[in-house]
Amino acid sequence: MHGGRAEPKVAPSGATATSGAHGRIAWIDVARGIGIIAVVVGHVWTRGAVRDAVYSFHMPFFFLLSGYLFSPKPPGAFARRQITGQGLSYLAFLMLVLSADLLIEGMRGHRPIFHNWPGDMWRVAFGGSELRGPFTVFWFVPCLVAARIAFNGVTARFPNLLGWEWRLFTGASLIVAYRIGAGTDVSPLGLLTAPMAFALLWMGAALRRVVIQPWMWGAVVLLAVAGLFLLPTINMKAGDYGWPVMSIAAAVATSLLIFRTARMPLPGARVLSALGSASLVIMYLHVPVIHYLSPYLGKGWLLVLALGVPAAAYYLFNAFAVTRRLFLAQ
């Protein structure tokens, strides 16, 4: 999920990437489409078996995919592009949803979430754990940006991602993630989750560089099933990663199965690809759609509109240079 930019042309071990328009990789957008549907489903169905299955993998999936697509870049230039591009996009979406909340809640005769101005300015600036309701997913992009900058910087010093140094870095990052997550859920700009995001980026990048033997897929399936139906779920925003190592390993296994499924000829692949292209906008805007419409519509309609309205917004934003720059980081 990178604002619609073309990704480096890579393929899973033993597979051939199929390029679509503008050099995009067809299966990547299909995988993103599956992933973003899972995210929306998890916010429409907020309890029960469906919610628990989705929460076993849906946010780790996007960090893994980002790591899988990662290619090293000059650290300084990369950090500037991430902060200015994704930072501007974050602020644009934040202002858009703030304005919508003031307008919609005012029309409904309700009090907006942020109503104590200028006192609430610190909560908006703090972000992360202070952003709830329609803003609840705004932790994700700042966390991803911080983790990618750190990951790219360490890669510049240690380019062999399968070397012993990276095992130390990733192990230390996991220890920090579990220790901090167990102690607090306070998360400025979502940075509480950055150590786990860093580890997941490495796991995704490592998956691109290893060959998964046919006999291994049985173990992958068993681990994914355990994550979907048996193991404690994951709430990355709050620093809750389920059972140490096991829940994250199961999320990796489920993500691998999605990668593999996305490379197959699927019914509805074009729809999935279109949703994948729009995944950044859907990530930002699906919760507001659910939040404001849930008193009036059933869950099926909420799912359709929470995917469709942000997807339409993506294609609208993509039509104009100024909105591409503001909202899509292009």
Hey, how many other C-beta atoms are within 10 angstroms of the C-beta on 183?
Answer: 10
Whether 312 maps to a domain, the answer reads: yes
Which of 269, 155, 146 is closest to 197 using CA atoms?
A: 146
In the chain, what is the greatest distance between 2 CA atoms, to the nearest angstrom?
Answer: 60
Query: 52 in a domain, yes or no?
Result: yes
Q: What is the pLDDT of residues 188-246, one digit of tens each?
A: 999 999 999 999 999 999 999 998 889 999 999 999 999 999 999 999 999 999 999 99
Alpha helices in 5-120 (DSSP H): 26-44, 49-54, 58-68, 75-81, 87-108
pTM: 0.91
Amino acid at 23: G
Asked if 60 contacts 251 with a C-beta cutoff of 8 angstroms, the reply is yes
Kindly report the backbone phi and psi dihedral angles of residue 305, in degrees, each rounded to the nearest multiple of 5, phi listed first.
-75, -35
Domain contains 165: yes
Q: pLDDT: is 198 or 106 the higher one?
A: 198
Helix (H) or strand (E) holding 247: helix 246-262
pLDDT for 132 beyond 60: yes
Q: Is 47 part of a structural domain of the chain?
A: yes
Q: Which domain holds residue 207?
A: 21-328
272 in Cβ contact with 311 (< 8 Å): no
pLDDT band, very low/low/confident/very high, at 3 (cuts 50, 70, 90): very low
Question: Does some domain include residue 31?
Answer: yes
pLDDT of 2 strictly over 80: no
Q: What is the pLDDT of residues 22-48, one digit of tens each?
A: 446 789 999 999 999 999 999 999 999
CA atoms of 293 and 312, how far apart (whole Å) = 17
Domain total in the chain: 1
Does 7 map to a domain? no
Helices 58-68 & 140-157, crossing angle to 10 degrees? Answer: 30
Domain-embedded: residue 124 = yes
> Would 11 be classed as within a structural domain?
no
